Amino acid sequence: MPTILNPAPGRKLPETIFPLCDYLTPNESEAEILTGLRVASLADAERAADALLARGARNVIVTLGAQGALIKNASLREHVPAVDAGPVVDTTGAGDAFIGSFATFLGEGLPEREAVKRANLYAGLSTTGVGTQKSFYDRARFDEEWAARGKS
């Protein structure tokens, strides 16, 4: 069973945890705390991902808010842009929406890139409502949005 570690809230972690992570999913500030490297650009995110891979994580996904996410592992480096889901009302819980939906899509057997693309949309949609769980789309509504955007 794959392991996913979302290191939130950001704090230093023991070095022994990184080799246990199939997927390590920090946002920019969490990546900075974990690596000591500034993360203010895509190139910075890649350097931080490389540092986390060197510590033993097998896949690193740095979430970049409105810039999407960077997927990095030994054989893949890909920036997956964010999706314009509509007017942003509240970003509270968007990271949780991303991680939860990523885990769901990955668990359904989708490859990382596809799971991240869908999770980007899910997180984006969560920002169009107020609050956290009450702003999250149910699966049927999400699948309609995905299909409507020609992504089925």
Distance CA 8, CA 27 (A): 8
What burial class does residue 87 get, using C-beta atoms within 10 Å of its C-beta: 0-12 exposed, 13-18 middle, 19+ buried? exposed
Tell me which residues are annotated as active site.
Answer: 96
Which strand ranges, in their side-by-side order, compose the sheet holding 69-73?
A: 4-5, 23-24, 59-63, 69-73, 77-80
